[in-house]
Structure 1
Amino acid sequence: MKKLGFVMVLIVFLLAFPKNLEASSSSANIYLDGEQLNLSSGVHVANMKGNVMIPIRVVSENLGFKVGWEKASQTVTVENSQKAVRMVVGSQQAEMNGTQVELNLAPVLDGKTTLVPLRFVSEQMGLDVKWDNQMKSVFLSSSVPPAAEEVITVPETEEVPDSQTPPSVDSSYESALIGLSFSDNRLMIATEGNVQPKVSSITGPDRIVIDLPNTVFASSFLDGHAGNIQGSGELAISDYSDVTKVRYALFSDNPSTVRIVMDLTGPKHYAVNNESGIIMVDLNVEGDILVPPVPPMTSNGKKTVVIDPGHGGIKPGSVSISGIKEKAFNLDLSLKVEALLKKEKDINVVMTRTDDSHLELSDRVKIANNLNADIFVSIHANSSTVSSPSGTETLYTRDSSKSLANIMHKHLIKATGLKDRSAKYSNLHVTRETTMPAVLLEIGFLSNKGDEAQLFNDDFQNRVAQGIVAGIKEYLNIQ
């Protein structure tokens, strides 16, 4: 079963090795469970556009799979008695048991074989894939130590099946998980569709279990968070004493159930709120008796501010002159803004992402709209391939956002000290489809040497974060 899962993941390959890997076409070798595979003459491991490419025929045949080749249509088929994968050379669309999947890089013909990109294979599936740059070799292992085989390692009542493929999000299931974050000692679960969570606490060790029945993983969630095609993974928690990590996996496929587990440092009371596609498990509960579910964040007298770090995951955004990706800048600055907003007693802050995860634009909008947030602020860095402009600008789409844009830009210009490119209209998805005042901040240009030197300066980021918070407070009339 593990070998079957290995080949399926090879075919899906949603993630590729880092771009700094260099595979020599003349000397790279492939090892499976410690034994070197014998490659036919002219067959080799290659590096294409930052992706380690591996001959699928060699790996498949060594694992006992049937491989077919249709010369006229340049189609490769890999199959056994249970599964069949169909790929076409030059196409990023493939089929797995008749279901279409998106490939990271299209298969290519290379001499006598077809090369496909090799993705990281998670230990959850009992597999390990490593690239040794010094030896110029790919090491594949179909077994790992037992302790690493399960993402969610808990008693039998919390067991996650060893190997299964999640149902398609396009099926008749009632809900899809689109987002997961932990902030301010609250777990925020964003879903699309109707779901009634089943929440319980378990001891030995202490943890809180949230089951989402009739729910699957949205494709955008799988792209951004998951370590494998099952959707299993975890969020590392470092800033809170009550929670060590949050784990998630497809617990059952009949019916499809997503399970989320919060690992605790000790017994902890909690409160649950489920409204408008946002499930909140709140650990900010005091006393010996469980407090009833907390009211929605927008009805507790505080203002709700959604901070959106642009890009993330498979969408890095622009790249600076020195090679730093925009998504990293956006997240760093956004986390600084979040930290400052958490100190404001009259503001609830919600982040669309707190790590390097991928969210579709529609998912960012949905989080803000479902929360009925008071304002939405998306943080970005600018870039140009035509010239080398410099400066800061604030973008808005709807007339109801113009006042917020003017106030935010006033504070932003003072904080950055860069050229004033004004607050201006722009037809952007996140500022157009949100239902509250919304702006997108372009702090500076990654493509400008002077701007870039400032953007990645910690003092500059702290100053800009303070300016953003000052603008938010002025607009919300918070002293």
Structure 2
Amino acid sequence: MKKFGFLLFLVVMMIAFPKMADASSYSAKIYLDGQQINVSSGAKVENINGTVMVPIRIVSENLGFQVDWSKATKTVTVQDGSQKVTMTIGSQYADINGQRVQMTKAPVLRGGTTIVPIRFVSEQMGMQVRWDNGTKSVHLTSGNAGSNPDGADGAHTATVDGISFSDNKLMVAVTGNAKPSISKLGNPDRIVIDMVNTEFSDSFGTMNDYDEVNKFGQMAVSGYSDVKSVRYSLYNSSPLTVRIVLDLNQPANYTVSGLENGSEILTVALTAATDPSPGTSGKKIVVIDAGHGDHDPGAIGVTKKREKDFNLAMALKVEKLLANEPNIDVVLTRSTDKFLELKDRAKLANDLKADVFISIHANSGPSAATGTETYYYDQSDKALAAALHKEIVKAMGLKDRGVRYGNFHVIRETKMPGALLEVGFMSNKTDESKLFDPATQDRVAAAIVRGIKNYLNVN
């Protein structure tokens, strides 16, 4: 398939070029089904601070996607069948079929050309990719190579006849020789099932919510803590591929059974994540709380940006850094755009018997108000607040508004040392610009980690 899976080749290139400069460009030969793609000299692949970017016209000109650019909104939309990805210049958030997802880097304009981050998109799609290090070339194999109307290798097309979810199990009724490929993905958490040489049966729409024209549907799920919805679509037409996605509220593992020994039911049963409980290995437990979420946007910025998005972006960056610390276990109160009551945030930390609780926020006030301030509730919190504040002020480069007492629920009700960060003012144009600058966010995340380690006295 000449699909978004093309973008997977850049993941391979990141492995092949691990020490590229922060903003370097290079060219490589790209082959699709054995034929070299003619990449113009002006279309350069770039590595920006470790994120591989590619000019969007490579995708549209060579792989047959529909690509639309809106100058007014500075958005680029890439669409193929029912799959639609919309990205905005300067924003780290993309829309995938109506679902908001964070990218590692925002798309940028480079000399009139839009270049987009690829790692984020590549996990959504599938394509056979081979990197030849000797010739420095990428070899892509699409679903069209050697296929026929009945599917690869002459196989007859299977059909999905029905989908249901109960007892924490997804059950898919299938007729024919379907071979599911299942993967667990994060950010957002989901489980993806792809069945190649498979389509929906003529009767599928009579039993399931299904758009016959656009070939997709969705099933709401209630009463289960792990799953919020099930989505399904005819993801690709060549070869015919049915994709089913379980959208999760939190990470979960799964077991698979069925479609063997004559069975016509594929069962994906969800199980609890098997990661060891935080702190069981003697590590310090750090809880990072991204303030607000979902219907509670927090402060609205000068350019209508939302505090909740900044808070989550920062929490995820801090989590990523802390995950590499050998003596610290990190837990997030939320890793997606969901709402939590203040009492539930505090309860999570208390139940874990965490060593540190940090709530990330952005401030609001008069347009002239600027700077960074950090709050503590109890005197036992003050040392933590001071350690964090010292590092964050240096990273942000804004006015030092000091370490202050604050009667905030999340640091009042937590039983361990806690601090609430007000990194900058959403209501100040300069502050807001810094808050949503990816490079500044990276510096602040590293500063928060330094503050935590200094306070906990861990290496």
TM-score of the superposed pair, with normalisation by structure 2: 0.46
TM-score of the superposed pair, with normalisation by structure 1: 0.44
